Structure 1
Amino acid sequence: MNACSHCWSRYMDAMVLSREASDPSISKALIREAYTWLQRYFDAEDRAVAQLERLAAR
């Protein structure tokens, strides 16, 4: 779950920065970056859940 926490933190940081950006193009780029981190978060969460399910099946 460490990867999940890292990705979530990066997502939140990028969203905060996007709100603080005065240039709309920078804000838009930061929002894109945030959603990339959000997708990575979901991917990491899926991997973590799958690993827990494999361990529980043993």
Structure 2
Amino acid sequence: MSAVDSPHGKGAQPCSTCQSWKLAEAVANGEQDYSRATDCRVLLKRHRESAECGAGGEG
């Protein structure tokens, strides 16, 4: 997905913490550690709802 296709709009910078949680979830799924993948999704959702998320709660 390019910056143009991004839900954050044209030229918006993705949140590095969101990217980290997404990567951790992908790794956990690849290792068939579905409990850890679920944890990553929950933590990603909490992060997006917080004021710390640079993506403005989108994604």
TM-score by length of 1: 0.48
Task: Kindly indicate which of the two structures has a greater share of residues assigned to helix.
Answer: 1
Structure number with the bigger relative contact order (C-alpha 8 A, sep ≥ 6) is 1
TM-score by length of 2: 0.47
